[in-house]
Structure 1
Amino acid sequence: MKDIRETQYFKVEKEPEIRISDVIQKVYESLKDKGYNPVNQIVGYIMSGDPTYITSYQNARSIIMKVERDELVEELLKHYIDKFE
């Protein structure tokens, strides 16, 4: 038995960094698989912040909530603007 007066240590595993483009792709595919219009649902989520716009199928809701909504908009806008260059 360990001495309770000694400092206990634990290590928290850092979650791997997720790319925003991967988040958008995974969520898009999950919404499409479930028969939703992915564009409408993602826009609804971005505009309202209501996670129920995103299906929980394949953890899509949890995945999209790991990214700030403004980061989603930024990534989408960058991708759109890159097509002009």
Structure 2
Amino acid sequence: MTNDETRVVETQIIKDSNTKRSLIKICEDLQERGYNPTKQIVAYLVSGDPGYISSYKECRNRMLEFKREDILELMLESYIS
């Protein structure tokens, strides 16, 4: 393949990878502060209330960059595959 050939990139794979990386980093940051990231994220996903996510290191704002439905879909696909 030469450099001037067009490449097809699966954008959903990139989006999922970015979401997963962000969620992992959010979990690490919450754990660093002594929080239980699983409980905070589940409470947010179920209720829709971002107040369940700590604002430590912008975790809440970073979480709000993604649709809750997309996060749930990614988690379910990862769980059942």
Q: Is the pair's TM-score, using the shorter chain for normalization, greater than 0.5?
A: yes
Aligned to 2:69: 70
Counting matched residue pairs gives 66
Aligned to 1:12: none
Higher helix share: 2
1:23 and 1:45 mapped to 2: Cα distance? Answer: 16
TM-score, normalised on structure 2? 0.73
Q: Which consecutive aligned stretches of 4+ in structure 1 deviate over 2 angstroms post-superposition? A: none
Residue 38 of structure 1: how far off its partner (Å): 1.0
- 8 Å CA contact 1:31–1:37 kept in 2: the answer is yes
Aligned to 2:21: 22
- 8 Å CA contact 1:51–1:65 kept in 2: the answer is yes
TM-score, normalised on structure 1? 0.70
Aligned to 1:43: 42
**CA deviation map 1:14-73 (0-9, x unaligned):** xxx781102211211121111111111100000111111111111111111010001110
1:36 and 1:75 mapped to 2: Cα distance? Answer: 23
Ranges in structure 1 where 5+ consecutive residues have no aligned partner:
1-16
Q: What root-mean-square deviation, in Å, do the aligned CA atoms of Structure 1 and Structure 2 show?
A: 1.5
2:46 maps to a residue whose letter is M
Ranges in structure 2 where 5+ consecutive residues have no aligned partner:
1-14
1:80 and 1:24 mapped to 2: Cα distance? Answer: 15
Identity of aligned residues (%): 38
